[in-house]
């Protein structure tokens, strides 16, 4: 068929007219009957075309043969002409075979694909011709193109898939792997992956055996199965993958390879794990959690919700959370809640809900909004806890902060608060306020001897009595220890406070029953008044304290008002206390002895040892002034011991000088009395001085012995068992229980001076003396009247049968030498009638005028 462009000079086979040479004839003969064959000469004139060629291009052979026919060049598709010509010319020149695919346009305009394979040939003259075999490949080419396209598509999928794709052998090698697979396992290319992984299972899978089982399974079942597993990447990190794989089988069912896809599902696994965790948090949370939808209908609740509210999930699903409400939360709370949700997307606060059981409870609720990407509300998440216990605890803490735990009275903190309010009230209304500071007498002793528990119980009962004694509007507080405060706002005059102080003294001094024992104490009360004594709380408390010390100094169980002089007295007391500490070492103490007269015999039968303090600047200080200080500051035991020692020494001295009938009375302080070592100490002193115990008398005050009578009984029994006697001092001033009095192993009652004093003028006091003597005799006790100053008193005492007296009428307390003289001047006698001693006081030897009485 082919031709070269007419203008082009041909170098290989020179163009020449193609004759019907012999060669050509032979060839034509050979070609006859063969489809799509043609022969053209060097001048591209078609010399022969087979029948098939007609079929191919739609032209009859006559139409294309010879110089006049349609040239093949025209039949060739214009776009392919140049390519075909180049190919033909090359073949002519080189003599090589050629094959070229190109399109032709048939007579009817149909485009067909052909392949022409040909060779240049020469006749005898060396004329070149071309023999071409043209084949219609239109159909084949379409298939091929489709195939190619398909192949390309698959390759594209394979190359560009985001999933890993593989084919592998049974012994764990990759036959094919795509770039995604390589990437997935951390390799640069599929080649690198395939080169590196000679044993897929062992090198890749965290649990290789599971993968082997999986492969066995897909081969057996012959279907695509899915398998999730954890694998190592090239860098050693682990990822989770999901594989879909199947076994590829040949036509006879023989195994060819495994084929499958692999996906990295680590993210999904992480999300799953996270979700699982979230679900666990949701179910295991101790907080009740409730999720609602955009319309605020409940869509999920957790187990804690059920525990807390009592509702089963089914009972609340789809409902508005309002069904939980107790209906007592104020509407403001809700409007605040919605406003905050709107503004900040969250809210926290306290609400009151009702459990299914109907019980209302406070809860602490936190709500957050969940919005979708468009900002639309998707959910509300509410979590809450029951805070009823918390609130109770808070209330308790508040109470504790304001109250004294032991007595439940207001504590110091809350006293300040209440006092502040009360003072402000009084200020506005131009009123007065009385502030009382109350301290329990001998509390420390009770606490020390009977134990803290008894002490605590005593404080509790005192608190109860105090609360009962005052009005509702009064303030009662405990400052700590045994210190209480009572404040009376709005009093008319200080006398009101005095009345209450009287009442409190009576109430507090009444016996207590603690652990089956009867105990006693008394209050020392210091009172100051707002605004006269101060306008600030601190000042008022300080001044009440000063007054209270004053009360203590006055002998306890009484009340005192604060005055400026009291401030001075307090300073005084401080000085005295520091001097007192040095008094023993400096030998400033001495004993005076006050004679006791036996009215039956008219004889001086004994003396009471009374301590004096020879102060370097103050002169003689009365024990009434320093004994309370000594007791409060813990110095009393040393002083008491000194007294015992000195009294025994003196007694012995007198004995050696012939005065053998005198008994010695010694005053005991509370601390001494309750000191367990006292009996041994006395025994030791008696023994070392060679004295008989029967010469000793110990005086214990009534209030001391009655503070804890059981304790007193046992101490007294021990003391008296050695042969000494015991007296109850100041009898009548305390609150003796007759029942106990009977049990005490005592010998004498000493009628207090205060009763003797007004014996003539006050019938009441006279009665007390009378009754005391009667009582004493009934109990088999003797009576000593103290403070007898007048003959009238003496006569009265004689008339009621009092056995002994002591007082200025006989003698003031005297220094040892004078006391000795006094005793010698009044020797023991048998006939009372001959004694006229007390008819003229001037007969008394000179008495120490300095001695305070
Ligand atoms: P008391 O045991 O009641 O002692 C009697 C007090 O009355 C003594 O005061 C004494 O001087 C005084 N007195 C005696 N006769 C008369 C009188 O006719 N008229 C007046 N107005 N007073 C009279 P004193 O010596 O000042 O002692 C006061 C208190 O001090 C004593 O009261 C006693 O409780 C305590 N006391 C004295 N010495 C000691 C001691 O050695 N140890 C202890 N623990 N206390 C002592
Ligand atoms: Ca006494
Ligand atoms: Ca007394």
Structure confidence at residue 625 (pLDDT): 87
Please check the confidence at residue 849 and state whether its pLDDT lies above 60. Answer: no
User: 3-class secondary structure for 88-156?
Assistant: HHHHHHHCCCEEEEEEEECCCCCEEEEEEEEEEEECCCCCEEEEEEEEECHHHHHHHHHHHHHHHHHHH
Please check the confidence at residue 542 and state whether its pLDDT lies above 90. Answer: yes
Among 125-134, 460-469, 816-825, which is the least confidently predicted range? 125-134
What is the Cα–Cα distance from 48 to 687, expressed in whole angstroms? 172
Nearest CA owner, ligand 1 atom 6: 853
Q: Which ligand is nearest to the CA of 731?
A: 3
How large is the angle between the packed helices 709-720 and 678-689, nearest 10 degrees? Answer: 20
Structure confidence at residue 130 (pLDDT): 78
| Cβ neighbour number for residue 102 with a 10 Å cutoff | 18
Please check the confidence at residue 480 and state whether its pLDDT lies above 70. Answer: yes
Residues 73-117: tens digit of each pLDDT? 888 999 998 888 888 888 878 878 888 889 999 999 999 988 888
The token pair at 579 is 């001097």
What is the Cα–Cα distance from 811 to 597, expressed in whole angstroms? 10
Residues 690-719: tens digit of each pLDDT? 999 999 999 999 888 888 888 889 999 999
Structure confidence at residue 831 (pLDDT): 41
Judged by DSSP in three states, 729 sits in: strand
Q: Ligand 1 centroid vs 226 CA: distance in angstroms? A: 111
Task: Check if 610 has its Cβ closer than 6 Å to any atom of ligand 1.
Answer: yes
Percent of the chain with pLDDT strictly greater than 90? 54
Nearest CA owner, ligand 1 atom 16: 787
What is the Cα–Cα distance from 756 to 765, expressed in whole angstroms? 7
The token pair at 343 is 């503004």
**DSSP-assigned beta bridge partners for residue 438:** 484, 525
Q: Ligand 1 centroid vs 610 CA: distance in angstroms? A: 6
Task: Check if 432 has its Cβ closer than 6 Å to any atom of ligand 1.
Answer: no
Task: Check if 732 has its Cβ closer than 6 Å to any atom of ligand 1.
Answer: no
Task: Check if 557 has its Cβ closer than 6 Å to any atom of ligand 1.
Answer: no
Task: Check if 671 has its Cβ closer than 6 Å to any atom of ligand 1.
Answer: no
Structure confidence at residue 69 (pLDDT): 79
The full DSSP string for 277-332 is HHHHHHHH-SSEEEEEETT--EEEE-HHHHHHH---HHHHTTS-GGGGB-S-S-HH
Structure confidence at residue 261 (pLDDT): 95
Task: Check if 665 has its Cβ closer than 6 Å to any atom of ligand 1.
Answer: no
Structure confidence at residue 49 (pLDDT): 78
Task: Check if 667 has its Cβ closer than 6 Å to any atom of ligand 1.
Answer: yes
Asked whether 472 and 489 are in contact (CB, 8 A), the reply is: no
What is the Cα–Cα distance from 46 to 1, expressed in whole angstroms? 5
What is the Cα–Cα distance from 450 to 518, expressed in whole angstroms? 12
Residues 520-538: tens digit of each pLDDT? 899 999 999 999 899 999 9
- For the CA atoms of 833, 839, 845, 846, the dihedral, rounded to the nearest 10 degrees, stands at 170
The full DSSP string for 525-540 is EEEEEETTT-SSHHHH
Please check the confidence at residue 485 and state whether its pLDDT lies above 90. Answer: yes
Q: No. of H helices and E strands in the chain?
A: 32, 32
Choose one of 667, 670, 733, 759 to mutate for the ligand 1 pocket test, by most ligand atoms within 8 angstroms of C-beta. 667
Q: Which ligand is nearest to the CA of 669?
A: 1
With cut-offs at 50, 70 and 90, classify the pLDDT of residue 312.
very high
Asked whether 171 and 200 are in contact (CB, 8 A), the reply is: no
Choose one of 583, 610, 665, 813 to mutate for the ligand 1 pocket test, by most ligand atoms within 8 angstroms of C-beta. 610
Q: Ligand 2 centroid vs 747 CA: distance in angstroms? A: 14
What is the Cα–Cα distance from 346 to 337, expressed in whole angstroms? 8
**Ramachandran class of 587: left when φ > 0, alpha when ψ lies in -120 to 50, beta otherwise:** left
Structure confidence at residue 570 (pLDDT): 59
What is the Cα–Cα distance from 669 to 626, expressed in whole angstroms? 12
Task: Check if 643 has its Cβ closer than 6 Å to any atom of ligand 1.
Answer: yes
Q: Are strands 748-751 and 483-491 parallel, antiparallel or unpaired?
A: unpaired
Task: Check if 611 has its Cβ closer than 6 Å to any atom of ligand 1.
Answer: yes
Task: Check if 787 has its Cβ closer than 6 Å to any atom of ligand 1.
Answer: yes
Asked whether 230 and 207 are in contact (CB, 8 A), the reply is: yes
What is the Cα–Cα distance from 140 to 162, expressed in whole angstroms? 34
Structure confidence at residue 36 (pLDDT): 64
What is the Cα–Cα distance from 443 to 514, expressed in whole angstroms? 14
What is the Cα–Cα distance from 35 to 436, expressed in whole angstroms? 141
Structure confidence at residue 138 (pLDDT): 85
Asked whether 382 and 289 are in contact (CB, 8 A), the reply is: yes
Which of the pair, 5 or 176, is modelled with greater confidence?
A: 176
**DSSP-assigned beta bridge partners for residue 229:** 241
Q: Ligand 2 centroid vs 608 CA: distance in angstroms? A: 7
Judged by DSSP in three states, 175 sits in: strand
Please, what is the average pLDDT of the chain? 86
Please check the confidence at residue 460 and state whether its pLDDT lies above 60. Answer: yes
Structure confidence at residue 54 (pLDDT): 72
Give the predicted TM-score (pTM) of the model.
0.46
Please check the confidence at residue 408 and state whether its pLDDT lies above 50. Answer: yes
Residue appearing with tokens 């029951």: 386
Structure confidence at residue 128 (pLDDT): 72
Task: Check if 483 has its Cβ closer than 6 Å to any atom of ligand 1.
Answer: no
Please check the confidence at residue 17 and state whether its pLDDT lies above 60. Answer: no
Please check the confidence at residue 260 and state whether its pLDDT lies above 70. Answer: yes
Please check the confidence at residue 35 and state whether its pLDDT lies above 70. Answer: no
- Going by the DSSP 8-state scheme, the letter that residue 403 receives in this structure is B
The token pair at 586 is 């400096």
Task: Check if 623 has its Cβ closer than 6 Å to any atom of ligand 1.
Answer: yes
With cut-offs at 50, 70 and 90, classify the pLDDT of residue 183.
very high
Span 814-843, average pLDDT: 67
Nearest CA owner, ligand 1 atom 15: 807
Percent helix, strand, coil in the chain, to 5, is 45, 25, 30
What is the Cα–Cα distance from 638 to 26, expressed in whole angstroms? 164
Q: Ligand 3 centroid vs 788 CA: distance in angstroms? A: 12
Nearest CA owner, ligand 1 atom 11: 853
Structure confidence at residue 18 (pLDDT): 40
| Cβ neighbour number for residue 448 with a 10 Å cutoff | 13
Asked whether 559 and 436 are in contact (CB, 8 A), the reply is: yes
Percent of the chain with pLDDT strictly greater than 70? 91
How large is the angle between the packed helices 388-402 and 412-428, nearest 10 degrees? Answer: 70
**Ramachandran class of 634: left when φ > 0, alpha when ψ lies in -120 to 50, beta otherwise:** left
Task: Check if 793 has its Cβ closer than 6 Å to any atom of ligand 1.
Answer: no
With cut-offs at 50, 70 and 90, classify the pLDDT of residue 26.
low
Nearest CA owner, ligand 1 atom 8: 853
Residues 583-623: tens digit of each pLDDT? 989 999 999 999 999 999 999 999 999 999 999 999 999 99
**Ramachandran class of 796: left when φ > 0, alpha when ψ lies in -120 to 50, beta otherwise:** alpha
Please check the confidence at residue 846 and state whether its pLDDT lies above 50. Answer: no
The token pair at 722 is 């050695």
Please check the confidence at residue 756 and state whether its pLDDT lies above 70. Answer: yes
Asked whether 113 and 136 are in contact (CB, 8 A), the reply is: yes
Q: Ligand 2 centroid vs 421 CA: distance in angstroms? A: 48
Which of the pair, 495 or 693, is modelled with greater confidence?
A: 693
| C-alpha dihedral sign at 305, 308, 312, 316 | negative
Structure confidence at residue 482 (pLDDT): 92
Task: Check if 628 has its Cβ closer than 6 Å to any atom of ligand 1.
Answer: no
**Ramachandran class of 415: left when φ > 0, alpha when ψ lies in -120 to 50, beta otherwise:** alpha
């Amino acid at each position: 068929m082919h031709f070269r462009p007419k203008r082009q000079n041909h170098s290989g086979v020179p163009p020449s007219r193609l004759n019907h040479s012999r060669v050509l004839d032979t060839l034509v003969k050979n070609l006859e009957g063969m489809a799509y064959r043609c022969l053209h000469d060097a001048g591209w004139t078609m010399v022969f075309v087979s029948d098939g060629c007609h079929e191919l291009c739609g032209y009859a052979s006559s139409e294309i043969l010879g110089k006049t026919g349609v040239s093949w060049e025209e039949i060739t598709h214009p776009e392919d002409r140049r390519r075909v010509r180049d190919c033909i010319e090359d073949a002519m020149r080189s003599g090589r075979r050629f094959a070229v695919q190109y399109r032709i346009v048939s007579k009817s305009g149909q485009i067909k694909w052909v392949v022409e394979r040909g060779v240049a040939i020469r006749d005898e003259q060396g004329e070149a011709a071309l023999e071409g075999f043209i084949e219609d490949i239109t159909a084949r080419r379409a298939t091929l193109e489709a195939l190619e396209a398909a192949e390309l598509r698959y390759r594209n999928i394979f190359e560009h898939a985001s999933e890993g794709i593989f084919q592998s052998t049974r012994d764990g090698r990759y036959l094919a792997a795509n770039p995604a697979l390589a990437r997935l396992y951390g390799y640069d290319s599929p080649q690198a992956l395939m080169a590196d992984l000679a044993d897929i299972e062992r090198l890749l899978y965290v649990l290789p055996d599971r993968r082997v089982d999986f492969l066995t399974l897909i081969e057996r079942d012959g279907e695509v199965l899915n398998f999730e597993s954890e694998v190592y990447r090239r860098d050693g990190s682990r990822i989770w993958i999901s594989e879909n794989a199947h076994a590829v089988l040949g036509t006879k069912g023989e195994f060819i390879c495994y084929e499958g896809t692999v996906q990295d599902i680590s993210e999904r696994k992480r999300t799953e794990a996270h979700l699982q965790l979230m679900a666990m948090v949701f179910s295991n949370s101790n907080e009740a959690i409730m999720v609602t939808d955009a319309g605020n209908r409940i869509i999920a609740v957790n187990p804690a919700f059920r525990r807390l509210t009592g509702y089963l999930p089914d009972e609340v699903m789809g409902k508005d959370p309002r069904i939980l409400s107790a209906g007592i939360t104020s509407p403001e709370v809700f409007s605040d809640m919605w406003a905050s949700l709107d503004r900040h997307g969250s809210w926290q606060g306290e609400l009151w809900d009702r459990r299914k059981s109907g019980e209302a409870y406070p809860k602490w609720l936190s709500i957050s909004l969940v919005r979708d990407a468009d900002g639309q509300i998707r959910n509300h998440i509410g979590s809450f806890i029951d805070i009823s216990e918390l609130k109770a605890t808070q209330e308790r803490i508040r109470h504790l902060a304001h109250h004294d735990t032991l007595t439940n009275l207001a504590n110091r903190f809350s006293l300040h608060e209440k006092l502040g309010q009360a003072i402000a009230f009084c200020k506005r209304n131009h009123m007065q306020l009385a502030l009382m500071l109350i301290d329990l007498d001998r509390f420390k002793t009770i606490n020390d001897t009977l134990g803290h528990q008894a002490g605590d119980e005593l404080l509790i009962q005192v608190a109860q009595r105090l609360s009962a004694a005052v009005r509702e509007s009064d303030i009662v507080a405990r400052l700590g220890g045994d210190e209480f405060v009572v404040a009376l706002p709005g009093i008319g005059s200080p006398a009101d406070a005095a009345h209450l102080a009287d009442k409190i003294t009576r109430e507090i001094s009444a016996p207590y029953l603690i652990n089956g024992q009867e105990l006693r104490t008394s209050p020392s009360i210091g009172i100051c008044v707002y605004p006269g004594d101060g306008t600030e709380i601190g000042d008022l408390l300080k001044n009440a304290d000063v007054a209270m010390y004053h009360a203590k100094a006055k002998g306890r169980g009484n009340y005192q008002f604060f005055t400026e002089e009291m401030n001075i007295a307090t300073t005084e007391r401080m000085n005295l206390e520091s001097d007192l500490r040095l008094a023993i070492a400096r030998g400033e103490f001495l004993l005076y002895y006050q004679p006791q007269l036996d009215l039956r015999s008219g004889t001086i039968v004994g003396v009471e040892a009374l301590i004096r303090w020879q102060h370097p600047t103050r002169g003689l200080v009365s024990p009434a002034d320093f004994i309370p200080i000594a007791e409060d500051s813990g110095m009393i035991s040393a002083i008491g011991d000194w007294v015992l020692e000195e009294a025994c020494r003196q007694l012995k001295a007198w004995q050696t000088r012939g005065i053998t009938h005198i008994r010695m009375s010694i005053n005991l302080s509370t601390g001494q009395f309750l000191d367990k070592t006292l009996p041994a100490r006395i025994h030791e002193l008696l023994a070392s001085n060679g004295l008989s115990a029967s010469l000793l008398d110990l005086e214990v005050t009534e209030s001391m012995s009655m503070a804890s009578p059981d304790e007193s009984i046992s101490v007294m029994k021990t003391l008296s068992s050695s042969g000494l006697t015991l007296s109850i001092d100041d009898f009548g001033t305390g609150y003796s229980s007759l029942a106990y009095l009977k049990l005490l192993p005592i010998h004498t009652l000493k009628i207090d001076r205060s009763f003797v004093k007004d014996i003539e003028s006050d019938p009441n006091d006279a009665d007390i003396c009378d009754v005391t003597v009667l009582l004493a005799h009934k109990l088999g006790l003797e009576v000593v009247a103290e403070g007898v100053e007048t003959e009238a008193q003496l006569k009265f005492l004689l008339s009621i049968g009092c056995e002994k007296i002591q007082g200025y009428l006989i003698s003031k307390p005297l220094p040892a030498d004078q006391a000795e003289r006094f005793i010698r001047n009044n020797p023991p006698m048998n006939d009372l009638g001959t004694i006229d001693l007390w008819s003229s006081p001037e007969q008394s030897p000179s008495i120490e005028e300095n001695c305070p009485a």
